[in-house]
Amino acid sequence: MKKLIIGICAFLSLTSTLSAQQPMKSITVKTEAGEDEVIGLPQGLLSETDSLYLDWISRNYIDWGENCTATAANPQVSDSVYIDRLQRIPALIEMPFNSIVREFIEMYATRLRQKVAFILSANNLYMPIIEEAFDLYDLPLELKYLPVIESAMNPTATSAQGAVGLWQFMLGTGKVYGLKITSLIDERRDPVKSTRAAARYLRDLYDIYHDWNLVLAAYNCGPGVINKAIRRAGGEKDFWALYNYLPSTTRGYVPAFIAANYIMNYYCEHNISPLDMKLPDSTDTLLISRPLSLQQVSKVCGIHIDQLRALNPEFKKDLIPGNEEPYALRLPTPLISTFLDREDSIYNYKPDTYLNRRTTVEVKSAARASSGAGGQAVYHKIRNGETLGSIAAKYKVSVSQLQKLNGIKGTAIRAGKSIRIR
């Protein structure tokens, strides 16, 4: 318990520290000519930790890791050591070193070291999904660290430009790669579906450029920008040869990717200890073919709504529109049987509160809409001996109209009651 409390306190300190910092949008590095160069930072280095999304994680599944010694001090590392370590990473994509790469490594190891501790913990949840997809599409596994610089491993991350999810898909690109995006659903936030889409996109980019550094650059700024840079550089197809023809943020993208691979492999050497994310023992999915609110599942099955949201981030408004098409609901495995046993109760739990979209609506007829003088409804107090027919004749309306207005079946009425005429 003491270790858990320490871990939570450390995480809360992390979120408060990050929120207190003013986010940097660029860094300044020295060129080989000794001049200052401003390089824009990728989204994953700009975004702060989403405390609302991570609140459930911090309260339930964050623990302090024990496999490294965590201190506030970052040891000094020589360029030769950086070069040696980078070359030891078992990667297909080249990991060269220069002053820009060093700047990004030291940013991760100093200013962002607490963020790195959380990102390392998120690996427990998302890396198996990413590695499985990249193995399926035969992609270099070191690409699995792209979400570190894209979203800081947050599936609900949203950039100022509208890119969403672990892989920061823009709406148009997401739809091209089969991700559904509506008012209720955003599959860019679905770790499984978005990862498969990212794998296909990366594979398609490689088929164009046959160079992984150019693939990374194109992933950041788009193939059109890369093609323009290639033309301006006289046909050069090496990232570092194109460097000065690229946008500021893209110049820093490949160095940031190299630095992310470095810090994900050598965090212990920089006295960074990952937070351990203790996940449910296992999860499984159910297909939902009717409208269902996550709130209904939470209340009847006894699972915290924040946990449901964390396991199902693609449902933007807590609503599963299963009547449109079947959607997968992810639950901790022990709750699968609970859901099946209580299925009727779940769907019938306060539908008027949680599923309040009307399927039909009554439009008043012209006769009903035209009330008495001034638009007011007209009523008549029933006297002894009056019948529904006599009242209808008195006001020149039909018996069926009186029945419809007053919800009367048959013709029985009672003296002393009021009846609506129009």
Q: What is the DSSP code string of 105-147?
A: HHHHHTTTHHHHHHHHHHHHHHHHHHHHHHHHTT--GGGGGHH
List the beta bridge partners of residue 55.
none
Q: Please check whether residue 372 is in contact with residue 400, taking contact to mean a CB–CB distance below 8 angstroms.
A: no
At residue 355, the 3 state secondary structure works out as coil
- Return d(Cα 9, Cα 25) in angstroms, integer: 28
Sequence-distant (≥ 6) Cβ neighbours of residue 281 within 8 angstroms:
332, 333
Is-contact 259 216, C-beta < 8 A? no
Helix 212-221 with 191-209: angle, nearest 10 deg? 120
Enumerate residues 6+ apart whose C-beta is below 8 A from 164. Answer: 156, 157, 158, 171, 174, 186, 188, 189
Gap between the Cα atoms of 187 and 169, Å rounded:
10
Residue 151's nearest CA partner among 129, 192, 119 is 119
Cα 183 from Cα 315, distance rounded (Å): 9
Give 275's strand partners: 64
Cα separation, 223 vs 208, in Å, equals: 9
Q: Are 105 and 75 within 8 A, CB to CB?
A: no
The token pair at 175 is: 């739809």
Among residues 107, 101, 63, which one has the least CA distance to residue 82?
A: 101
Characterize the bridge pairing of strands 418-420 and 327-332: unpaired
Question: Facing residues of 48 across strands?
Answer: none
Q: Residues with catalytic annotation?
A: 150
In angstroms, what CA-CA distances link 223 with 54, 201, 227, 228, 356?
A: 34, 11, 6, 9, 44
